[in-house]
């Protein structure tokens, strides 16, 4: 199936409040660089979107969508930003809720191809682990554990490098 990038990104924009759309992937005291990301993308401020929907509960900070034309997929990247130390269980819940939002706004796979979900955490000073012996952060998504990509705030090309090294860019 061919990826209809413009149609898919337009669909995403139509599913959210215009006030929720932003250009920034960073914030909350955590610098995330857009350098190296596809120019055609949609970034949603998840907190604003939850408020516009009247939803409460924990949620991540940003939700990035872009098309990977080489793999004919859309990529949904819920992003949690922590300028200091991140708490594992808190991050897990926020990203799981953001993934649910991503599913509701993602383009229809019959028309636009598959959407791949890639949760990301950026932190400033490490992670408080629930189990210090296990150093892999995962979230439960659609009944399966999904690994979370972890990066540091303020590093050049931090988001593009994470996504590229994991094969999503």
Distance between CA 26 and CA 31 in Å, rounded?
5
Dihedrals φ, ψ of 87, to 5°? -95, 120
Among 4-18, 33-47, 131-145, the minimum mean pLDDT is found in: 131-145
pLDDT digits (tens, 9 = 90+) for 73-109: 899 999 999 988 888 889 999 999 999 999 999 987 7
158, two tokens: 């931090």
pLDDT digits (tens, 9 = 90+) for 109-147: 766 678 999 999 999 987 877 766 667 889 999 999 999
Distance between CA 30 and CA 39 in Å, rounded?
21
Residue 27 is predicted with a pLDDT of 86
pLDDT of 150 over the 90 cut: yes
Mean pLDDT of the chain: 89
Distance between CA 139 and CA 120 in Å, rounded?
10
Q: What is the DSSP string of 114-168?
A: EEEE--EEEESS-EE-SSTT----EEEETTEEEEPEEEETT-TTHHHHHHHHTT-
> How far from the centroid of its chain's Cα atoms is residue 146's Cα?
13
The more confident residue out of 21 and 132 is 21
This prediction has a pTM of 0.91
Distance between CA 29 and CA 153 in Å, rounded?
9
The secondary element (H helix, E strand) that includes residue 86 is strand 86-87
């Amino acid at each position: 199936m061919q990826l209809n990038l413009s149609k898919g990104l337009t669909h995403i924009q139509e599913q959210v409040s215009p006030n929720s759309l932003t250009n920034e992937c960073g914030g909350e005291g955590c610098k995330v660089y857009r350098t190296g990301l596809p120019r055609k993308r949609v970034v949603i401020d998840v907190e604003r979107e939850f408020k516009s929907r009247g939803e409460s509960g924990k949620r991540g900070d940003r939700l990035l969508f872009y098309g990977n034309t080489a793999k004919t997929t859309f990529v949904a990247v819920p992003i949690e930003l922590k300028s200091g130390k991140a708490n594992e269980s808190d991050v897990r819940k926020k990203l799981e809720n953001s993934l649910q939002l991503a599913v509701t706004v993602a383009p229809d796979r019959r028309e636009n191809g598959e959407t791949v979900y890639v949760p990301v955490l950026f932190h400033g000073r490490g992670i408080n682990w629930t189990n210090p012996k296990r150093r892999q952060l995962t979230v439960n998504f659609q009944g399966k554990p999904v690994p979370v990509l972890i990066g540091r705030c303020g590093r050049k090309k931090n988001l593009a490098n994470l996504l590229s090294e994991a094969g999503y860019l």
